Amino acid sequence: MLGICGCSASAGARHLRVLGTRGQKAVELRSLLVPGSWVRHPGRPDWGPGQVQSVIGRRVTVNFENAGKRLIMTDVIELARLDESRPVLGPSRG
């Protein structure tokens, strides 16, 4: 579990703080996560940027560049939402 965000996220990231949040505030923050949004997992920078695939309640499925699809529970994990519609990806693997 992540308690405090210790990430070194890029300046273009905005943190969605949902850990320990209750009621209306948690709902508002989760509503910012919509399919197609780009996010980072602050505790797993090696996963790279990820695109939100689905949001069902507190369960968010994200397809990360280097880790594939992962189910994220937004009441446990803080995600950093990337401001740009398409993040700069790592080196080409081609």
Task: State how far the Cα of 25 lies from the Cα of 16, in Å rounded to an integer.
Answer: 11
Say yes or no to pLDDT of 33 above 60. yes
Structural domain spans, the chain: 18-82
Q: Are the C-beta atoms of 15 and 80 separated by less than 8 Å?
A: yes
pLDDT for the residue numbered 2: 33
Query: Can you tell me the mean pLDDT for 29-51?
Result: 89
Give the predicted TM-score (pTM) of the model. 0.62
pLDDT for the residue numbered 7: 43
pLDDT for the residue numbered 78: 82
Provide the mean pLDDT of the chain.
73
pLDDT for the residue numbered 16: 46
Domain 18-82: top CATH class = mainly beta
